[in-house]
Amino acid sequence: MKTYKNPNKNKWTELIKRPVIDQVKLYKTVTAIAQDVATIGDKALFKYTKKFDDVSLNKLEVCEKEIESAISQTPQSLKEAINIAFNNIKAFHKAQQNIETIIETMPGVRCWRKSVAIEKVGLYIPGGTAPLFSTILMLGIPAQIAGCKEIILCTPPNKNNTINPIILYTAQLVGITKIFSIGGAQAIAAMGFGTESIPKVYKIFGPGNQYVTKAKEYVQQNGIAIDMPAGPSELLIIADKTCNPSFVASDLLSQAEHGEDSQVILLSDSEKIIETCISEVYYQIERLTRKEAAIKSLKNSKAINLKNIQKCIEFSNRYAPEHLIIASEKAIKLSDGIVNAGSVFLGNYSCESVGDYASGTNHTLPTNGYAKNYSGVSVDSFVKKITYQEINKQGILNVGKAVEVMAEAEKLFAHKNAVTLRLKDIQND
């Protein structure tokens, strides 16, 4: 983990860069996969699963028998833990449903807005070395609350050509039964273009590696909406002298263990705090089962000593982290200065892990600086907002003249005429 002491602001741009792979090669690879899937459908999915995962598929959809088996294989203690998370996430997202009010902008002109669920959505759930069944809760629950009619789920098979039973258990818990054994960029392309087995959806959700993220960008260019460009995980911690260094170290490692392309940043106004936290990191890392992944991630990571906490907040806003922890007894007060972050964790006991699993907030968040202009997933992510207006005779009399004048100024005379005809009709009455 590289350490920097009071870097000049002109170096901040370099310091906020995320680790990336060759973008030209990435684009070519993903484009070829997506075009192949769009052209030959399931055959391409079988081909790329064999090539990238070394798994020979003979079918894609998970059958009901496999789901039933997964329920019995999931330990009761884990079911109980998942149920706590389920209830918290449901409660938080249920509260996001708002009843829109009808606004009379002027006498006779009524306007309102209605949330309508996106009918067909696709959820991507990463598998690999860390099957993220918690992401099913984060995506499936708001999708169900929103009222999406068709929810499909894609997740990669393991080496035994099976899906982790906890993923299947969690999927059925939130009411998802259309599950497909396919991962990577090819899964995104399948949901974006449709194949013989996998239906085309209107919007795709879910995190993934840089190949998955690039595939989401590709299908977006071809008319399919996505939640956000959610790539490799990242965490930034602002720690002052009131932090607990062992807590800070554990939080840094909780993100570093995601994978070698993850990144963690530690900011502090105290050199001593940084030294102590880093010492704790290398003490704790020896106990991790995912030690190798964490070590590789730390090579992409930084600890930066800045002059004061306000500078730390300023740097954080420039970085716009996916997750931000303010490890301070003054966290709530300091949080007033935060304008760019996916999700913020306040104080020494608000570890990011709780947000990842069970506090209730959503863990599908913008990465790579997109927290400057994207929000995390919510119920709103699964709906469209349709506006309505009802204008009666009094309303057209009140607003009509203004519309006529504006339409004429823009030389759109058909627009003007649509109003003029109605005004004349009222006058003739």
- The secondary structure of the chain, three-state, reads CEEEECCCHHHHHHHCCCCCCCHHHHHHHHHHHHHHHHHHCHHHHHHHHHHHHCCCCCCCECCHHHHHHHHHHCCHHHHHHHHHHHHHHHHHHHCCCCCCCCEEEECCEEEEEEEEECCEEEEECCCCCCCCHHHHHHHHHHHHHHCCCEEEEEECCCCCCCCCHHHHHHHHHCCCCEEEECCHHHHHHHHHHCCCCCCCCCEEECCCCHHHHHHHHHHHHCCCEECCCCCCCEEEEEECCCCCHHHHHHHHHHHHCCCCCCEEEEEECCHHHHHHHHHHHHHHHHHCCCHHHHHHHHHCCEEEECCCHHHHHHHHHHHCCCEEEEECCCHHHHHHHCCCCCEEEECCCCCHHHHHHCCCCCCCCCCCCHHHCCCCCCHHHHEEEEEEEEECHHHHHHHHHHHHHHHHHCCCHHHHHHHHHHHHHHHHC
What's the CATH number where 328 sits?
A: 3.40.50.1980
pLDDT in tens, the chain (429 residues): 999 999 999 999 999 998 777 788 899 999 999 999 999 999 999 999 999 989 999 899 999 999 999 999 999 999 999 999 999 999 999 999 988 899 999 999 999 999 999 999 999 999 866 788 999 999 999 999 999 999 999 999 988 888 999 999 999 999 999 999 999 999 999 999 999 999 999 999 998 888 998 999 999 999 999 998 777 889 999 999 999 999 999 999 999 998 888 899 999 999 999 999 999 999 999 999 999 989 999 998 999 999 999 999 999 999 999 999 999 999 999 999 999 999 999 999 999 999 999 999 999 999 999 999 999 999 999 999 999 999 999 999 999 999 999 999 999 999 999 999 999 999 998
pTM for the structure as a whole: 0.93
| 94 and 222 share one domain | yes
Domain end position, chosen among 194, 213, 228: 228
| 198 and 245 share one domain | no
Q: Is 82 contained in some domain?
A: yes
Q: Is 34 contained in some domain?
A: yes
| 223 and 302 share one domain | no
Q: Is 66 contained in some domain?
A: yes
Domain that holds residue 41: 23-102+116-228
Q: Is 385 contained in some domain?
A: no
Looking at the structure of the chain, the number of domains it has is 3
Catalytic residues, by residue number, are 322-323
Q: Is 380 contained in some domain?
A: no
Q: Is 375 contained in some domain?
A: no
| 130 and 277 share one domain | no
| 201 and 224 share one domain | yes
Q: Is 141 contained in some domain?
A: yes
